[in-house]
Amino acid sequence: MPECRGLGHSVLRKEDPRFLRGQGRYIDDITLPGMLYLDIARSPYAHAKITRIPEVDELGVPGVAAIITGKVLDQYKLAWMPTLMSDQQMVLPIDTVKYQQQEVAAVVATSRYAAADGVAALEGLIEYDPLPVVVDPHKALEPGATKVRDDKESNHIFHWEHGDLEATEKALADADVVVEQAMHLPRIHVASIETCGCLASWNPVEGHLTLYLTTQAPHAIRTVVALVTAHLGLAEHKIRVISPDIGGGFGGKVPVYPGYVIATAASVVTGKPVKWIEDRSENLAADSFARDYHMTAKLGAKDGKVTALKLDTVADHGYSDAAANPSKFPAGLFHVASGSYDLEAAHVAVDGVYTNKPPGGIAYRCSFRVTEAVHAIERMVDLLARESGEDPADFRLRNFIPKESFPYTSALGWEYDSGDYEAALVKAMDMIGYHELRAEQAEKRERGELMGLGISSFTEIVGAGPSKSFDILGIKMFDSAEIRIHPTGKAIARFGTKSQGQGHETTYAQIIAEELGIPPEDIAVEEGDTDTAPYGLGTYASRSTPTAGAAASIASRKIRAKAKKIAAHLLEADEADLEWEQGRFFVKGSPDRGKTIQDIAFAAYTNHPQGMEAGLEAISYYDPPNLTFPFGSYICCVDIDRGTGEVSIRRFVAVDDCGVRINPMIVDGQIHGGLTMGMAPALMEEISYDADGNIHGGNFTEYLVPTAMETPKWELGETVTPSPHHPIGAKGVGESATVGAPAAIVNAVVDALWHLGVRHVEIPITPQRVWGLLDKHGAALYR
Amino acid sequence: MSAHRVTITVNGEPMEREIESRLLLVHFLREELGLTGTHIGCDTTSCGACTVLLDGRPAKSCTVFAVAADGAEVTTVEGLANGGLHPIQQAFMECHGLQCGFCTPGMMLTSKALIEENPDPSEADVRWGISGNLCRCTGYVNIVKAVQQAAATIRSEAGEEADHA
Amino acid sequence: MMRFRVARPPAVVDLRRVPDLSGLREQDDHLWVGAMTRQAEVEKSDVTRSRYPLLADAARVIADPVVRNLATVGGNVAHADPGNDLPAVMLAYRATMCTVGYPDRSAGSLAGDGPRSLPLAPEKREISADDFFTGPFETALGEGEILTGIRIPAPDAGSGGAYAKLERKVGDYAVAAVAVQLRIEGGKVAEAGVALTNVGLTVIRASGAEKALIGSDGGEAALDAAGAAAAEAAEPMADARGSEAYKRAVVRTLTFRAASKAIARARGGAA
């Protein structure tokens, strides 16, 4: 029987050989005969009337075949598209632009360079009348503010709230300590190293559209395309979406971007395949942003016990609410904000606001606004501990939800599936040498040196989701696996999710290996082609293992059930007398009398019982009974340079609990990457706008993605608390670190400066921001 | 726009083409030669996804005109190994030094030159050496490990060759 | 510049094949740095590391390691972006810029469709670093003229130099950076060059800081005074890298640190 490396093995990744040889097939690697190139002219203004767009002949650029404008698209009723939050977003404007770098018109040309020449010429000829701009979401809510949307009554998009306001206010009134803090999590961008793009190929003879697309959710996209183009005669069976290898997603490849729609329209208009690949500048300036939550939090404690949280938020959505959330959740899963603590009451409110900025509200490697929630609660708990005169570690240990309480219903109504928060924090403290570092800090403080320790003990919420609450535009958020065993005992498995680097080809194969005893290398895993893969909602919000991974288990178990019947037939035994060991059924009491899964697979096609259908395959559409709640405790140790304000992370210990680990190597890799994407916005990354709506941070010289030099050597630890409801006890892990890390870093910096009187610092914690605090509190040095 | 006839030796094979003067080396490789292992990740010479070896030294091929590589030798990821996997590729796989794979070709080519210059690089040396190449997935920890492991393999192979000589 | 169509030159000339433009050569009383010398070569050369550490320090923090394989010293100097690191180095060294060409002719009058005979033999000029950098992206180079190389005076015994740069990440332009080159004789600072990167429209010589150092014992008081004088000489503008006050503070800190390191190097015997 072949060795089967199922759960818990660091199997080398099946997808790696092609990537290592340069044989990955990313969107820009795909070419089709006669292909045209699309490039997009963009607005220099944040708000303006377009007064003139020239005709194609005026450009005088050889190779340019057409200019596509909003007016052209409007003839096909494609100038607007719906967002996931049931708002409207322009594909191309008919007469007004709403943010800087918005798509204004597109050029189709015979080569990449000709298209770029065409755009340069076009941008020089488009004329505008600038309009007043509103950038600050608080100002946008003031009476008489410039209105962003002509079709709405005000800039206020929605008010959403959750929790028991009365109980929360009462608990805060009764508290003996209450801390309050405003904090802003600024706009950031996922900045996957591959930008977005597509290749649309319309076949006019067959009325068939093939859409190669950098998408994390190919099936949902196909349905959306079918719905918005039905009036043009397209139908879902004649639309094939193919998501090729994806060079990083992190949530940025969930939305439908105008470029995809324009390229598709251009292919229909020209009858030729049309490719659109965005530049990095376009990617940063116009694709969906993340965060941009202005939060005010209040946290109270009585007798040293934390009691209530109140969290009020102004959410800047840009000119359209194009957030990528499950449809019933306009603020995502922000209401996990009570975190790891046993609160009496909590209340969360969010007001969405329009401004003259790009639309969005995607995740940045986070499950629907969980990072915002964790930032709020972990900052507040730290503040409350300090104001109560207690060490933040001790305070947390005393206030955690005790492990005996799981499954635990939080003050905001979530049922946490499992957890042992104390164990994770204690482990992190041991690993980093918490008490020794505290002693060192005290000594250093005496000498005027600044070091700080920061903790974040986060609770994540991933794996959307139970279909009773979670859907996207009505499509329930299940996910799928289809497994087919070939006669020789090899297999192919297809999924409704889509890897963007997470290693699905390996992880899923290991789950099937565990369940069926077929080695991972004997299992081909495919995703991303809507013609072949079963329907699923895609990969984001750490949902693949909780949903499609579970589906892999369930489908495998269906196969095993049939295999058992075949084995009984082959062994001439009663099914009830058979026992399973990994990869093999045998007769109880006669371990020699058995059949391997490979023997059984062969029989399924050659010698199956009379009356049974041939073949050995199964499909599962898995609707999880609950979300999974990964957690962890992170401790960060920073040193601060009093002469420059630079923060350096000396050590960072991350103890993660994601339940059962399928491939520990891949899990560690996910955490390393997640930590780096947690550090980046804490210290470096931000997209901001001046009062006129001019973007800052719109290319890689100003949007500061960390290199190996700015990134510390992460130190990882683990605890394992299985999910009680997931078939193999696993939880999601891709995003925990991004969610948990920023608060640990902020807490460490505030800790380093606490004795000076500093109580809070906003992110990104740039050297100038720290220096400003040092200067203000008389601690700046010039040496 | 003037045209130029150039000969660029790519992965050991001379490639003669008539090209536009403004054609970038990365587009020459990807579109003229179909070598799509060299990727494009930005427009400011920041990310290093397009890194190739130009006469043995890592260069960002998005910022080199193809005409400026006339007569030069270029190595892309497709030329890293003669069949099988180069020790760097092997180490990246074994150390999980890649996830989405998009930065990987550039990262490996930079690493190759780094190891040639410094056969036994410390962690700090590697972090410094790859600081012109961005990775968004791995957090660099395993890339550093992979480069050090590859360097060790290359040293021991060189040692064995020396023993045989 | 060209990629974003900020610059749209009618022609681009590749200088790689012009002989003698590249390389580092130690001459009797100076180091010759060819304009086409790659920054990676400067960074890694034993000569710069042992005898010209200010230059080696600076080369190590320009852009990133891959970019430095192609980027040239001449490009960094002649482009004269206030954020470029080498202009301050050249000022601190009191280097001489060597040029060839037709300083009085515009590039347009030299460009053309075919070969044409030029009326005059090209002129060679030597321009002091102080006279070379005339403004943002502006130098004393005429349009018909190129930089061929730079002469950096060989440091006398007791010399030391250092470059201190604060950047937000590898590959970034400086928030501020300070170049210091000095010589110690009989326990006192005898000569000093101090220049500042990216805190003005062009590179700035911090004469006040030089005065504060010269004649001093190089102790902390002198370094503090030099820092304060350099901060005063800076003319920063607020931007994403920092406020005016912050940048002045960084100049003050980095001047102290660069001078302190330069002094240690001078006393340590290494150039």
> d(Cα B115, Cα C197) in Å, to the nearest integer?
33
Tens of pLDDT, residues A481-507: 999 999 999 999 999 999 999 999 999
As a whole number of Å, the CA-based R_g of chain B is 16
Collapsed DSSP state (helix, strand, coil) of residue A140: helix
Determine contact, residues A90/A113, Cβ cutoff 8 Å.
no
Determine contact, residues A556/A512, Cβ cutoff 8 Å.
yes
Residue type at A436 in one-letter notation: E
- Report whether the peptide linkage leading into residue C65 is cis, meaning its omega lies within 30 degrees of zero: no
A-C CB pairs within 8 A amount to 68
Tens of pLDDT, residues A113-133: 999 999 999 999 999 999 999
- What pLDDT, on a 0 to 100 scale, did the predictor assign at position A370? 97
Q: Is A783 a catalytic residue?
A: no
Q: Which of A395, A410, A404, A397 is nearest to A344 (CA)?
A: A410
Instruction: Identify the burial level of A423 via C-beta atoms within 10 angstroms of its C-beta, where 0-12 means exposed, 13-18 middle and 19 or more buried.
Output: middle
Judge whether residue A750 has pLDDT over 90: yes
Determine contact, residues C68/C59, Cβ cutoff 8 Å.
yes
Q: Which of A384, A322, A309 is nearest to A149 (CA)?
A: A322
Residue type at B54 in one-letter notation: L
> d(Cα A148, Cα A152) in Å, to the nearest integer?
8
Q: Cβ of A247 and B41 within 8 Å?
A: yes
> d(Cα B31, Cα A28) in Å, to the nearest integer?
10
Q: Which of A416, A415, A337 is nearest to A377 (CA)?
A: A337
Instruction: Identify the burial level of A709 via C-beta atoms within 10 angstroms of its C-beta, where 0-12 means exposed, 13-18 middle and 19 or more buried.
Output: middle
Q: Read off the tokens for A74.
A: 């409007």
Phi-psi region of A499 (alpha: psi -120 to 50; beta: other; left: phi over 0): beta
> d(Cα B87, Cα B85) in Å, to the nearest integer?
6
- Which chain A residue lies closest to B108 (C-alpha atoms)? A20
Query: In chain C, helix, strand, coil percent, each to 5?
Result: 35, 25, 40
More confident residue, A104 or A361: A104
Asked if A648 reaches chain B (Cβ–Cβ under 8 Å), the answer is no
Q: Which of B77, B92, B130 sits opposite A22 (nearest CB)?
A: B77
| Tokens 């050597």 sit on residue | A713
> d(Cα A140, Cα A144) in Å, to the nearest integer?
9
Kindly state the helix (H) or strand (E) to which residue A186 belongs, with its residue range: strand A177-188
ipTM entry: 0.98
Tens of pLDDT, residues A726-744: 999 999 999 999 999 999 9
| Number of alpha carbons in the 13 Å side-chain half-sphere of residue A355 | 30
DSSP bridge pairs for A451: A639
Mean residue pLDDT of chain A comes to: 97
Q: Cβ of B68 and C66 within 8 Å?
A: no
Residue type at A281 in one-letter notation: S
Asked if B48 reaches chain C (Cβ–Cβ under 8 Å), the answer is yes
Q: Is A366 a catalytic residue?
A: yes
Buried b (16+ CB within 10 A) or exposed e, A134-154: bbbbeebbeeebbebeeeeee
Measured N-to-C along each axis, helices A550-571 and A597-606 cross at an angle, to the nearest 10 degrees, of 70
Q: What percent of chain A has pLDDT over 90?
A: 97
Determine contact, residues A587/A571, Cβ cutoff 8 Å.
yes
> d(Cα A500, Cα A670) in Å, to the nearest integer?
12
Residue A408 Cα distances to A143, A396, A660, A739, angstroms: 43, 17, 20, 21
- What pLDDT, on a 0 to 100 scale, did the predictor assign at position C118? 61
- What pLDDT, on a 0 to 100 scale, did the predictor assign at position C270? 47
> d(Cα C255, Cα C196) in Å, to the nearest integer?
9
DSSP bridge pairs for C167: C174
Residue A364 Cα distances to A196, A368, A369, A588, A713, angstroms: 15, 9, 9, 52, 22
Judge whether residue A678 has pLDDT over 80: yes
* Cα-Cα end-to-end distance for chain C: 37
> d(Cα B49, Cα B107) in Å, to the nearest integer?
7
Average pLDDT over residues C19-47: 96
Chain B residues with CB under 8 Å of C44 CB are 117
Tens of pLDDT, residues C143-197: 889 999 999 999 999 999 999 999 999 999 999 999 999 999 999 999 999 999 9
- What pLDDT, on a 0 to 100 scale, did the predictor assign at position C2? 86
Q: Where are the beta strands (DSSP E) in A496-573?
A: 523-527
Chain C residues with CB under 8 Å of B129 CB are 65
Determine contact, residues A519/A654, Cβ cutoff 8 Å.
no
Q: Cβ of C223 and A704 within 8 Å?
A: no
Distance from C232 to chain A by nearest Cα, in Å?
13
Phi-psi region of A549 (alpha: psi -120 to 50; beta: other; left: phi over 0): alpha
Average pLDDT over residues B40-52: 97
Tens of pLDDT, residues A509-532: 999 999 999 999 999 999 999 999
As a whole number of Å, the CA-based R_g of chain C is 19
Q: Is A735 a catalytic residue?
A: yes
> Which one of A100, A216, A502, A598 is the catalytic residue?
A216
> d(Cα A684, Cα A669) in Å, to the nearest integer?
22
> d(Cα A316, Cα A356) in Å, to the nearest integer?
10
Instruction: Identify the burial level of C157 via C-beta atoms within 10 angstroms of its C-beta, where 0-12 means exposed, 13-18 middle and 19 or more buried.
Output: exposed
Sign of CA dihedral A506, A512, A514, A516: negative
| Tokens 């530049």 sit on residue | A279
> Which one of A222, A365, A543, A560 is the catalytic residue?
A365
> d(Cα C262, Cα A713) in Å, to the nearest integer?
31
Judge whether residue A640 has pLDDT over 90: yes
Q: Read off the tokens for A648.
A: 């350096």
> d(Cα B136, Cα B39) in Å, to the nearest integer?
14
Judge whether residue C109 has pLDDT over 70: no
Sign of CA dihedral B105, B121, C166, C130: negative
Determine contact, residues A417/A629, Cβ cutoff 8 Å.
yes
Tens of pLDDT, residues A229-239: 898 889 999 99
Average pLDDT over residues A600-609: 97
Asked if A710 reaches chain C (Cβ–Cβ under 8 Å), the answer is yes
How many Å separate Cα A681 from the centre of its chain?
15
DSSP string, C203-253: -EE-HHHHHHHTTS---HHHHHHHHHHHHHH-----BTTB-HHHHHHHHHH
Residue A152 Cα distances to A156, A313, A353, angstroms: 9, 21, 12
Q: Which of A330, A389, A442 is nearest to A86 (CA)?
A: A330
Tens of pLDDT, residues A57-87: 999 999 999 999 999 999 999 999 999 999 9
- What pLDDT, on a 0 to 100 scale, did the predictor assign at position C271? 46
- What pLDDT, on a 0 to 100 scale, did the predictor assign at position A465? 82
> d(Cα C157, Cα C188) in Å, to the nearest integer?
13
Judge whether residue A444 has pLDDT over 70: yes
Residue A137 Cα distances to A45, A180, A331, A396, B53, angstroms: 18, 21, 16, 34, 48
Q: Read off the tokens for A257.
A: 């971007």
Q: Which of A676, A763, A597 is nearest to A183 (CA)?
A: A763
Measured N-to-C along each axis, helices A736-753 and A767-776 cross at an angle, to the nearest 10 degrees, of 30
Asked if C168 reaches chain A (Cβ–Cβ under 8 Å), the answer is yes
Q: Read off the tokens for C42.
A: 């400067």
Top residue of B1, B76, B100 to mutate, by most chain A CBs within 10 Å, is B100
Q: Read off the tokens for A3.
A: 């060795």
Q: Cβ of B38 and A22 within 8 Å?
A: yes
Asked if A12 reaches chain B (Cβ–Cβ under 8 Å), the answer is yes
Average pLDDT over residues A217-226: 94
DSSP string, A669-695: HHHHHHHHHHHHHHHT---EE-TT--E
> d(Cα C259, Cα C50) in Å, to the nearest integer?
18
